[in-house]
Homo-oligomer: A and B are copies of this chain.
Amino acid sequence: MTASRTARERVRAELTREIADIARRQLATEGAGGLSLRAVAREMGMVSSAIYRYFPSRDDLLTTLIIDGYNALGEAVEQADAACASGDYPGRWLAVCHGVREWALAHPHEYALLYGSPVPGYQAPQDTVAARLRDVTVLGLIVSQAHAAGAVTPPALAPAPPAPLREDAERVRGLMPGVPDDVVFRCLTAWTALYGWVSFELFGQFANTIEDRHTAFDHAMRLMGQTIGLR
């Protein structure tokens, strides 16, 4: 059904995929803003206007790249998690962190597209939200399972979230069922530390300062694992 119908549809699907691939390559060399439909067309031996048969605008092509990116990152994270012993919650958290970082280092411009400043004039459509949650879903699962197994111990003195945050906590709990409010917010904070670190490293904020970046990242994420309370 979806695999092949008419010859026309097959070649159309193939060309669409090829356009996205070339665009991804250009993204890797030129960066997000340097993505040019005309350059993609040139590389395909097409005339620029023909591209618009496949992607009605530059933003639609961007949307495709973004969704693919979220899925690629999500899959990398899922694999990193799956490679761990399911009861080793701190290890799984650490593996997920390294999974994010390594994917980002391997695909810096795609990462920038997902977690950097929004492309000017581009408004992410609703299609992207499902894919966007894929990586954080893994994190939620780990914490949820750890909590169910009694393997989440709040650090001493951890402040309790104030009452107005109950609704927000409830929403986040959709990704980590059963987890109490204060753990939810410790996860959220760890999550921002993870992506904040990776962004800093990728966007040059660590230049001339942090050199042994793998080790430093590993240490920082262990620290955040403890802050979550995983054991």
Q: Using Cβ atoms and an 8 Å threshold, which residues of chain B touch A197?
A: 189, 192, 196
Q: Using Cβ atoms and an 8 Å threshold, which residues of chain B touch A167?
A: 211-212
Contact between B212 and A168, CB atoms less than 8 A apart? yes
List the one stretch of A4-12, A26-34, A39-47 in contact with chain B.
Answer: A26-34
Q: Mark A170-191, 1 if CB is under 8 A from B, else 0.
A: 0110000000000001101111
- How many of chain A's residues have a CB under 8 angstroms from any CB in B? 60
Contact A116/B119 with A210-B168, A226-B158 known, Cβ cut-off 8 Å: no
Q: Using Cβ atoms and an 8 Å threshold, which residues of chain B touch A31?
A: 117-118, 120-121
Q: Tell me if A195 counts as interface (CB < 8 A to partner B).
A: yes
Complexed CA–CA distance, A226 and B199 (Å): 23
Q: Using Cβ atoms and an 8 Å threshold, which residues of chain B touch A121?
A: 30-31, 33-34
Q: Using Cβ atoms and an 8 Å threshold, which residues of chain B touch A220?
A: 185, 188-189, 192
Q: Using Cβ atoms and an 8 Å threshold, which residues of chain B touch A119?
A: 33
Complexed CA–CA distance, A43 and B168 (Å): 44
Of the listed residues A112, A118, A204, the one surrounded by the most CB atoms of chain B closer than 10 A to its CB is A118
Closest 8 CB pairs of A and B: A196-B196, A116-B117, A31-B120, A192-B196, A112-B117, A193-B193, A33-B120, A192-B197
9 A/B residue pairs, CB under 8 Å, sorted by A: A31-B118, A31-B121, A33-B121, A113-B117, A164-B212, A185-B223, A186-B223, A190-B193, A192-B197
